[in-house]
Amino acid sequence: MDVGIVRALGSPDGKELLRSLPPYDPAAVFALQERLRREGHSPDFVAALLTQQRLQSRAVAKFGEFARDMLYTPDGLEQASRLEVAATHAGRYYNASLATVHDLGCGIGSDAVAMSALGVTVHGVDIDPVTAAVADTNLRPWPDSRAREGYAEEFEAPRDPLRSRVGVWLDPARRVPGRTGRHGRIKRVFRLDEIRPSWQFVLQVATAVPATGAKLSPSMPHDAIPLGTEAQWTSYGGDVLECAVWWGPLAHRPGRSARILMPGRSPVEVDETMAEPDPPVAEGPGSIGAWLYEPDRAVTQAGLLGAVTGATLGVEVDRGLGYVLSEAEVDLPFARRYAVRESMPFTVKTLRAWLAQHGITGLTVKKRGVRLDDDELRRQLKIGRRAGDGAQATVVLTRVAGQQTAIVVDPVPVAEAPATT
C-alpha cells in the first residue's frame, strides 16, 4: 500500500465501498476479489480493500464499534493503543486544559483520535509516510488535527509551552523494522537505549515542554524513572500493555502506579501510598494460610505488591515471586483470590498421588519460581489438559521460603470493582 492508495481508501467513495464490504470471511476472499475486479477496480486497490477488511475485523478487539471507521497498517494496528488505554491517555491532556498536543510517533493515530475527540488539537508526525497518511485519514473528522510524515527529532518546542497550553505525547518505536522473531512478528526491543527516538531525546522534550507523556515498555526499569514523574503500568484483561511516564501537570501522583482495566468493569488504580514499602516474605510452609492472592501483573510490574500484603495482612511466598499468602478473606479489585485446598512439598510423585486420590482428571497449572515443562509434567502426572469428565483442579507450583511447593487452590469468583476517579 502506498500513500496514493491510502488517499483513495480515505476518499468518500473509498470509505463507502469499504463500508459496503461484508464481514471478513477467509473462505470468501477470492470470490470477493474477483467481484471487485470485475467492477473495474485496480488490482492494487482491491488488495488494499481486502487488507483493510481483514484488519478491521481484527481491530474490533481493540476499538470495538469504532473499528470500521478507521484505516490500518498491520504493524500500526498491533502497536496502537487500544481504545480504553488511548482514552486514559487523552484524559490526562484534556484534564490539564491543553489546547494542542504534538504526537511524536503517532502511528495510525489511535491516541491522536482519542485526544481530538475530547477537543484537543493534535499535530502528529510519523517517520513512515504510509502510516502518517493513515493517521491523517483517521483524523479527518477533526479538521484542526493533522498528521504528516516527519521525524520526531525535528520537533521544536514553543518558547512558552505553559502559556500556549501545549503538550507532547511520545510513543518511541520499540520494534526493529525488517527483523522478525520466531513467530514472524517484528522483533521488539526492551532496553531504553534501543528505542527511537532515544530516551535522551524524550528527556530533552520533557525538559522543554512540562506537559509531556511517553509510552514505554512494561519492562521499564524502576531506577530509570525521572524524579518527580509518575510512571503508570497499565493492564487490560490481565496483560500488561505499557508503562507510561508523565511529567508536569500530567502527573497525578509522582511515583509508581498501576491501572487495571477489565472488560465490563470500572478501572482500578493502585499507587505507592497504598503499598507497604517492604512486603514481608513467608518464613516457611507454616505461612500457607487459607487464601492465596495473585496480584494483577500491572501491580507486580509497578513494584506495588505491598498493596496486596498490606490489605490482606499477608506475606509473599518468596522474594520476587508475587503470590501472597494470608489467613484473611479480602475481596481486592487488583488481585485474584484463591481458596487453599491443600499444600505439599512439590515432587511429581507426591502430586501425582494426591491427584489420583481425589479423582482429578483435568488440571490447570500455574507456576512461578519453578522451572519445568508443562507437557512433560502432565505426562509424568499421567493426566491430560481435559482428560475425561472427572474432577478439575488448579495447582500453583512455586517456592515458599525457598522450598518448592505445590498448592492446590480453588478460584474465587471475581467481585465487581468499585468505580474510581
Burial class (CB within 10 angstroms; exposed 0-12, middle 13-18, buried 19+) of 341: middle
| 413 has pLDDT over 90 | no
What does the DSSP 8-state code read for residue 141? Answer: T
CB under 8 Å to 344, separation ≥6 — which residues?
A: 350, 351, 354, 405, 406
Q: Nearest Cα to 378, choosing from 392, 399, 362?
A: 362
| 150 has pLDDT over 90 | yes
Confidence of residue 418 (pLDDT cuts 50, 70, 90): very low
**Are 227 and 239 a contacting pair, CB within 8 Å?**
no
- Counting Cα atoms < 13 Å in the Cβ hemisphere of 372 gives 21
**Cell 492446590, located at residue:** 408
- What is the average pLDDT across 201-222? 96
Residue 166 has what pLDDT?
97
Buried b (16+ CB within 10 A) or exposed e, 109-132: bbbbbbbbbeebbbbbbbbbebbb
**What sign for the dihedral angle of Cα 323, 328, 329, 331?**
negative
Confidence of residue 188 (pLDDT cuts 50, 70, 90): low
Compute the CA torsion angle 178, 181, 185, 189 (nearest 10 deg): -80
Residue 397 has what pLDDT?
97
Q: Nearest Cα to 249, choosing from 86, 115, 88, 93?
A: 93
- What is the average pLDDT across 170-198? 69
Distance CA 150, CA 408 (A): 55
- What is the average pLDDT across 115-134? 97
- Whole-angstrom CA distances from 109 to 7, 70, 157, 168 are 15, 9, 21, 14
Residue 416 has what pLDDT?
47
What's the longest Cα–Cα distance across the chain? 75
Out of 76-80, 137-141, 176-180, 389-393, pick the least confident. Answer: 176-180
Distance CA 117, CA 131 (A): 20
Determine the distance from the C-alpha atom of residue 329 to the mean position of all C-alpha atoms in its chain, rounded to a whole number. 29
Residue 223: CB atoms within 10 Å: 5
Distance CA 136, CA 148 (A): 7
| 419 has pLDDT over 70 | no
| Residue pLDDT, tens place only, 52-82 | 999 999 999 999 989 999 999 999 999 999 9
**Are 216 and 232 a contacting pair, CB within 8 Å?**
no
Q: Which three cell numbers stand for residue 350?
A: 507426591
- What is the average pLDDT across 373-383? 87
How would DSSP label each residue in 257-310? EEEEE-TTS--EEEEGGGS-SS--B--SGGG--SEEEEE-HHHHHTT-THHHHH
Residue 417 has what pLDDT?
40
pLDDT greater at residue 420 or residue 181: 181
- What is the average pLDDT across 333-359? 95
| 146 has pLDDT over 70 | yes
15 by DSSP, 3-state: which? helix
| 331 has pLDDT over 90 | yes
Confidence of residue 387 (pLDDT cuts 50, 70, 90): very low
Determine the distance from the C-alpha atom of residue 205 to the mean position of all C-alpha atoms in its chain, rounded to a whole number. 25
- What is the average pLDDT across 234-263? 96
